Amino acid sequence: MTGRQAPLLSVRDLKVVFPTPIGMVHAVDGVSFDLEAGQSMGIVGESGSGKTVTAKTLMNLLPSYALVDGSVTFDGRDLRALSAERKSEKHLWGVEISMVFQDPMTSLNPVKKVGEQIAESLRYHLGETRTAARRQAGDLLEQVGIPEPGRRLDEYPHQLSGGLRQRVVIAAALACEPRILIADEPTTSLDVTVQKHILDLLDDLRAERGMSMILVTHDLGVVKGRTDEVMVMYAGRTMEEAPTEEIFSRQSHPYTEALMETIPKINSAGHTRLMPIPGQPPVTTSPPIGCPFADRCRYTTDRCVAQGPLLEALGDDHQVACHTPVGTPAAETALAANAARGHTATGLEIHHSGVPVGAVADGPAEQV
Amino acid sequence: MAGRGTVQLRGGEDVILRVENLVQEFPVGRHRVVHAVSDVSFDLLKGETLGIVGESGCGKSTTARALVQLPPPTSGRVVLDPDSGNEVDLTGLSGNDLRDVRPRLQMIFQDPISSLNPRRRVRDIVSEGLEIWSDGGIGTEGQERVDEVLHAVGIDPAAAASHRPHQFSGGQCQRISIARALTVDPEILICDEPVSALDVSVQAKILNLLEDMKARYDLSLIFISHDLSVVRNVTDRVVVMYLGKICEVGDADRLYEAPAHPYTRALLASAPEPARSVGVADAVLGDDIPSPTEPPSGCRFRTRCPLAIEKCATEEPQMQQLDGDHFVACHLPRV
Amino acid sequence: MKLTAEPPMDESSEVVKARRLGLGFWLPTGWMILIVGVALLAPVLPLKDPTDYFIRPGERPPYPPSADHWFGTDQDARDMFSRIISGARVSLAVGFMSVAMSFIVGGAIGMVAGLVRGWFDRLASFLFLVLLSFPGLVLVILIITLIDRSVLTISVTLAIAGIAPVGRLARAATMSFAEREFVIAARTLGARNSRILFRELLPNVVIPMGALVLLGVAAAIVAEGGLAFLGLSLEKGETWGKLIRNGAGSRVLRDSPWVAFGPITVMFLTLASINYIGDYLRDFFNVRETGLGR
Provide the pLDDT for residue C290: 42
Q: Residue B236: its chain A contacts at CB < 8 A?
A: 270
Would an 8 Å CB–CB cutoff place A192 in contact with chain B?
Answer: yes
Task: Tell me whether residue A118 is in a domain.
Answer: yes
A279 or A88, which is more confident? A279
Compare all CA atoms of chain C with the CA of A280 and give the residue at the minimum distance: C8
Our CA-based measurement puts residue C164 at a distance from the nearest CA of chain B, in whole angstroms, of 26
**Which among B261, B262, B253 is positioned nearest to B231, based on CA atoms?**
B253
pLDDT at A285 over 90: no
CATH number for the domain that contains residue B92: 3.40.50.300
- Please report all neighbours of A, defined by 3+ CB atom pairs within 8 A: B, C
Q: Identify whether A41 is part of a domain.
A: no
The residue count for chain A: 368
Task: Work out the pLDDT band at B17, boundaries 50, 70, 90.
Answer: very high
pLDDT at residue A218 is higher than 80: yes
pLDDT, tens only, B127-159:
999 999 988 788 899 999 999 999 999 999 988
User: Is B172 in Cβ contact with A368 (below 8 Å)?
Assistant: yes
Dihedral sign, CA of A103, A109, A115, A119? negative
Average per-residue pLDDT for chain C = 84
Instruction: Compute the nearest-CA separation of C219 from chain A (Å).
Output: 34
Of B99, B114, B155, the CB nearest to C181: B114
Angstrom distance (rounded) from CA C160 to CA C104:
11
pLDDT of residue C15: 45
Quick one: pLDDT at residue A216? 95
A283 vs C9: CA distance, rounded Å: 10
Which domain range does residue B84 map to? 15-328
Q: Is residue A8 part of a domain?
A: no
H-type alpha helices, B166-234? 170-182, 200-216, 228-234
- Name the residue of chain B whose CA is nearest to C203's CA: B119
- What subunits make at least 3 CB pairs under 8 angstroms with B? A, C
Of A22, A48, A367, the CB nearest to C2: A367
- For B55, the closest of A191, A268, A368 (CB atoms) is A191
Confidence of residue A363 (pLDDT cuts 50, 70, 90): very low
Percent of residues, chain C, with pLDDT higher than 70: 89
Shortest CA distance from C14: residue in chain A: A22
The pLDDT score that the predictor gives to residue A368 is 39
Contact criterion met (CB below 8 Å) for A160 and A168: yes
Domain ranges of chain C: 38-49+67-286
One-letter amino acid of B28? V
CB contact under 8 A, C3 and A23: no
Query: In chain B, which residue's Cα lies nearest the Cα of C1?
Result: B154
Per-residue pLDDT at B247: 95
What domain count does chain B have?
A: 1
A206: pLDDT confidence band, cut at 50, 70 and 90?
very high
Confidence of residue C29 (pLDDT cuts 50, 70, 90): very high
Which chain A residues are within 8 Å of B289, Cβ to Cβ?
Answer: 161, 163
Q: Which pLDDT belongs to residue B83?
A: 86
The answer to whether B261 and B329 are in contact (CB under 8 A) is yes
Does residue B169 fall inside a structural domain?
yes
Contacts of residue A220 in chain B, CB cutoff 8 Å? Answer: 272
Tell me whether residue A342 is in a domain. yes
For residues B197 and B113, what is the distance between their CA atoms, to the nearest angstrom? 10
Is residue B2 a part of any domain in this protein? Answer: no
Which of the residues A18, A20, A22 would you substitute to probe the C interface, choosing the one with the greatest number of C C-beta atoms within 10 Å? Answer: A22
Contact C2 B154 (CB under 8 A): yes
pLDDT band at B188 (very low <50, low <70, confident <90, very high): very high
Better pLDDT: B109 or C62: B109
Encode pLDDT of B272-311 as tens digits.
Answer: 888 888 888 888 887 677 888 889 999 999 999 989 999 9
Helix C202-229 to helix C80-116 angle, to the nearest 10 degrees?
140
Of B169, B226, B235, the CB nearest to A368: B169
Contacts of B154 in chain C (CB under 8 A): 1-4
Between these two residues, B323 and B183, which has the higher pLDDT value? B183
C15 contact residues in A (CB cutoff 8 A): 21-22
**C293 and B CB contact within 8 Å:** yes
CB contact (8 A) between residue B233 and residue A274: yes
**Where do runs of H (alpha helix) occur along chain C?**
10-20, 23-41, 80-116, 118-133, 136-146, 151-178, 181-189, 193-195, 202-229, 240-247, 250-255, 258-290
B216 CA: distance to closest CA in chain C (Å):
16
- Per-residue pLDDT reduced to its tens digit, A306-317: 998 999 998 888
CA-based nearest distance A14→chain B, Å:
25
- Separation in Å, CA of C13 to nearest CA in chain A: 8
Chain C from 154 to 213: CB within 8 A of any B CB:
180-182, 184-192, 195, 199-200, 203-204, 207
**Structure confidence at residue B79 (pLDDT):** 95
Q: Which amino acid is at A272?
A: T
> Has residue C19 got a pLDDT over 80?
no
Neighbours of A178 (CB within 10 A): 21
C5 neighbourhood in chain A, CB within 8 Å: 367
- The answer to whether residue B3 sits within a structural domain is no
Which DSSP symbol is given to C201? I
Paired with A43 in beta bridges are A216, A231
**What would the mean pLDDT of C64-85 be, rounded to a whole number?**
89
Q: Which of A132, A150, A134, A133 is CA-nearest to residue A142?
A: A150
Which of C188, C189, C204 faces B119 most closely, judged by CB atoms? C204
* Strand B237-242 relative to strand B245-251, pairing: antiparallel
Contact by Cβ (8 Å): A187, A194: yes
Q: Do A367 and C4 touch (CB under 8 A)?
A: yes
Q: Answer whether residue C9 shows pLDDT above 50.
A: no
Q: Under an 8 A CB cutoff, do C187 and B133 touch?
A: no
Residue A255 within a domain: no
Contact in structure between C121 and C60 (CB atoms under 8 Å):
no
What pLDDT does C5 receive? 34
pLDDT digits (tens, 9 = 90+) for C281-294: 777 776 444 433 32
Range of C48-62, C92-106, C144-158 with top mean pLDDT: C92-106
**Segments forming the whole domain that contains residue A126:** 106-175
Q: How far apart are CA A89 and CA A79, in angstroms?
A: 10
ipTM of the shown complex: 0.90
pLDDT tens, A157-194? 988 888 888 889 999 999 888 999 999 999 888 888 88
pLDDT in tens, B47-100: 999 999 998 889 999 999 999 999 999 999 999 999 888 899 999 898 899 999
Residue A208 has pLDDT above 60, yes or no: yes
How far off is chain A from B52, nearest CA to CA, in Å? 15
Domain count, chain A: 2
Instruction: Report how far residue C19's alpha carbon sits from residue C14's, in angstroms, rounded to the nearest whole number.
Output: 9
- Whether A27 shows a pLDDT value over 80: the answer reads yes
Mean pLDDT estimate for chain B: 91
- Which of A296-305, B131-140, C207-216, C282-291 is the least confident region? C282-291
Instruction: For residue B199, give the nearest of A195, A218, A267 by CB distance.
Output: A218
Mean per-residue pLDDT, C235-239: 83
Mean pLDDT of C128-155: 84
- In this predicted structure, what is the pLDDT of residue B259? 95
Share of chain C above pLDDT 90, in %: 40
Residues of C whose CB is below 8 A from A48: 294
Q: Which has more pLDDT, C234 or B278?
A: B278
Average pLDDT of chain A, as a whole number = 87
Pick the last residue of a domain from A175, A195, A213. A175
What residues in C contact B129, CB-CB < 8 Å?
189-190
**From the list A47, A270, A275, which residue is nearest B199 (CB)?**
A47
Evaluate whether residue A338 is within a structural domain.
yes
Q: Is residue A62 part of a domain?
A: no
Mean pLDDT of A195-216: 91
- Choice between C233 and B211, residue whose per-residue pLDDT is larger: B211
The model's confidence at residue A2, banded by pLDDT at 50, 70 and 90, is: very low
Q: Which residues of A touch B233 (CB under 8 A)?
A: 264-265, 268, 270-272, 274
User: Which chains reach chain C with 3 or more Cβ–Cβ distances below 8 angstroms?
Assistant: A, B
Whole-number pLDDT of residue B29: 79
pLDDT of residue C8: 43
Taking the CA of residue B65 and the nearest CA in chain C, the distance in Å comes to 9
Determine the residue among C3, C14, C177, C189 to mutate to test chain B binding: the one whose Cβ has the most chain B Cβ atoms within 10 Å: C189
Among the partner residues C5, C189, C200, nearest to B184 by beta-carbon distance? C189
Q: Do A21 and C16 touch (CB under 8 A)?
A: yes
Q: What is the mean pLDDT of residues C223-251?
A: 85
In this complex, do C3 and A358 lie within 8 Å of one another by their Cβ atoms?
no
User: How distant is the Cα of C17 from the closest Cα of chain A, in angstroms?
Assistant: 10
Of A46, A197, A267, Cβ closest to residue B200:
A46
Interchain pair A46, B229: CB under 8 A:
no
* Residue B283, pLDDT score: 81
Among B212, B205, B170, residue whose Cα is nearest residue B189? B212
Architecture field, domain C38-49+67-286: Orthogonal Bundle (1.10)
Residue to mutate among A152, A193, A234, A275, with most B CBs inside 10 A, is: A193
In C, minimum Cα distance to B109 occurs at C181
Q: Which of B169, B232, B283 sits opposite A266 (nearest CB)?
A: B232
Residue B4 belongs to some domain of the structure: no
The whole-number pLDDT of residue B131 equals 93
- Supply the pLDDT for residue A358: 56
Nearest to B154 among A47, A194, A367 (CB): A367
